Amino acid sequence: PDGLVFDPETVKGQRIKEDADYEGIRVKFLGFLDRSRIHMQIDIGFDDIIYPRPKLIEYPVILDFPKPHLKGYPPESVVSEKFEAMIKLGLLNSRMKDFYDIWLMMHKFDFEGSKLTEALRRTFAYRKTEVPEDKKLFAKEIYDEKSDRQTLWKAFLNKGDIKHAPEKLSSVAKEIEKFLYKPLNA
């Protein structure tokens, strides 16, 4: 035991419905480490294309105890699913977290181009979404610093107290374009 205690009375599950075709379950609960409250969240997706295969992920620990290993999505699948949803939903997507997650993963992980290419290809094909061919991957409002998207981005950064990400959504969008251009056009 690592001293972390989970409160079963706080477990709440809800259906995740990103769009009409794909869904999952989000489970939220509280953990306690002495008097510290730790908000926990687990998302479980169904009927997803996962490429490459799920892999063992070593989770960080707070105290000096063994690190748990759980199977999870490879980064290529996370990026391909988030990006596909961003393209499919277009301006209906108000989730700035998708932009942030892809931007963060670009900087945290080393991606093998062929694996990312294949993950994108499989996800877009399975979900019957057209792969964007334009060099500008997102709607013009994403690049407009006076649009409501920039306001949403600033609110997202402030709410999460995120200081390390670019202040401009257009900068993030351009970095994502550069990152995904070759895999999308391979």
Instruction: Give residue-wise pLDDT tens across range 42-60.
Output: 988 888 889 999 989 998 8
49 against 108, higher pLDDT = 108
Q: How confident is the model at residue 65 (pLDDT cuts 50, 70, 90)?
A: confident
Q: What is the DSSP string of the chain?
A: --SEEEEEEEEEEEEEESSSS-EEEEEEEEEEETTEEEEEEEEEE-S---SS--EEEEPP-SSSSPPPEEEE--HHHHHHHHHHHHHHHGGG---HHHHHHHHHHHHHSPPPHHHHHHHHHHHHHHTT-PPP-SS--S-HHHH-TTSHHHHHHHHHHHHTT--SS-S-HHHHHHHHHHHHHHHHT-
Look at residue 136 in the predicted model and tell me its pLDDT: 80
Q: How confident is the model at residue 19 (pLDDT cuts 50, 70, 90)?
A: low
User: Is it the case that residue 181 has pLDDT exceeding 80?
Assistant: yes
Residues 18 and 95 sit within 8 Å (Cβ to Cβ): no
Stretch 145-167: mean pLDDT = 95
User: Is it the case that residue 120 has pLDDT exceeding 60?
Assistant: yes
Model-wide pTM > 0.85: no
The average confidence (pLDDT) of the chain is 91
Tokens for 43, please give them. Answer: 């998302």
Look at residue 62 in the predicted model and tell me its pLDDT: 76
Tracing tokens 């997650």 back to the chain, one arrives at 101
Instruction: Give residue-wise pLDDT tens across range 32-43.
Output: 988 999 999 998
Q: How confident is the model at residue 1 (pLDDT cuts 50, 70, 90)?
A: low
